[in-house]
């Protein structure tokens, strides 16, 4: 079956540009010749334009938060990038942060999309802190940027109102945290450039190894194994 996998990446003030640009590059790549699958990307935000990690990187999202919220079921992959933990704490204190957490919780409870059989919730870098705050990482294997292992546990425990029972894996490029009850697969990338490896892993899972190898070749990216990550 030919599938168009729809990817939505959230962008917020001070979000790290490579955290979302790495995945967007991978998902935006032209598919291999004669391959029935392809990926289609959307960026969305509460702001328009939205300034990411520095004043030189300002983005016009292709959809509003409200639009993606309304059509959430039509997306296969939701990408949540990271930022310095202070920026994440600041985001989560705002109404827009609370709306984001609600969106993530709702996405985690959707069934796999009928057209593709897929649903993936993907964090990159400290974006896992946002997933933790949404309460969707409790009891799972997880990872994050090597400087954020402590914050990840704190955020998840706070959301759980006690020990969230996570197993934090270090030195990982990505971790497959398994599926939610509804069937949404949760993937955490490690820090920043790990998001490229994690996205290639998702492409491989959804569209096959030939597709992900073709993409890695086009972007001249020597893929790293899952265990080639960083420790603090």
**Contact residues for a second copy, defined by CB under 8 A:** 9, 16-18, 21-22, 24-25, 28, 41-43, 49, 53-62, 145-146, 190-194, 196, 217-222, 224, 228-230
Decide whether 83 or 164 has the Cβ nearer to a second copy: 83
CB of 183 to a second copy, least distance (A): 26
Q: Nearest approach, Cβ of 219 to a second copy (angstroms)?
A: 4
Tell how far CA 167 is from the center of its chain. Answer: 19
Smallest distance, Å, CB 158 to a second copy? 25
Q: How far apart are CA 110 and CA 205, in angstroms?
A: 19
Rounded CA Rg of the chain? 16
Residue closer to a second copy, measured from CB, 128 or 180: 128
- The residue length of the chain stands at 232
Q: How far is the CB of 132 from a second copy (least distance, A)?
A: 19
Residues 6+ apart with CB under 8 A from 71: none
**Dihedral, 186, 161, 70, 195 alpha carbons, nearest 10:** -30
Kindly tell me which of 97 and 191 has the beta carbon lying closer to a second copy.
Answer: 191
Alpha helices, H only, 109-220: 127-134, 149-160, 194-207, 209-218
Pick between residue 22 and residue 32 the one whose CB is nearest to a second copy: 22
């Amino acid at each position: 079956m030919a599938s168009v996998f729809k990817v939505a990446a959230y962008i917020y003030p001070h979000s790290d540009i490579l955290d979302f640009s790495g995945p967007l590059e991978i998902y935006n790549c032209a598919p291999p010749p004669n391959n029935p699958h392809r990926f289609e990307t959307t960026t969305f935000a509460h702001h328009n334009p939205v300034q990411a990690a520095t004043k030189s990187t300002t983005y016009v999202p292709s959809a509003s938060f409200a639009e993606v919220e309304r059509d959430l079921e039509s997306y296969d992959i939701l990408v949540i990038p990271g930022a310095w933990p202070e920026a994440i704490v600041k985001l989560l204190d705002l109404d827009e942060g609370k709306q984001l957490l609600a969106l993530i919780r709702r996405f985690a409870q959707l069934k796999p999309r009928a057209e593709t059989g897929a649903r993936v919730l993907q964090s990159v870098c400290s974006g896992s802190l946002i997933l933790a705050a949404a309460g969707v990482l409790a009891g799972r294997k997880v990872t994050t940027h090597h400087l954020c292992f402590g914050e990840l546990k704190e955020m998840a425990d706070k959301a759980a109102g006690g020990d969230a029972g996570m197993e934090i894996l270090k030195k990982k490029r990505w971790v497959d945290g398994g599926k939610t009850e509804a069937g949404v697969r949760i993937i955490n990338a490690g820090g920043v450039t790990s998001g490229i490896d994690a996205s290639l892993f998702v492409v491989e899972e959804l569209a096959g190894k030939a597709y992900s190898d073709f993409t890695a070749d086009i972007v001249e990216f020597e893929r790293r194994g899952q265990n080639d990550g960083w420790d603090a």
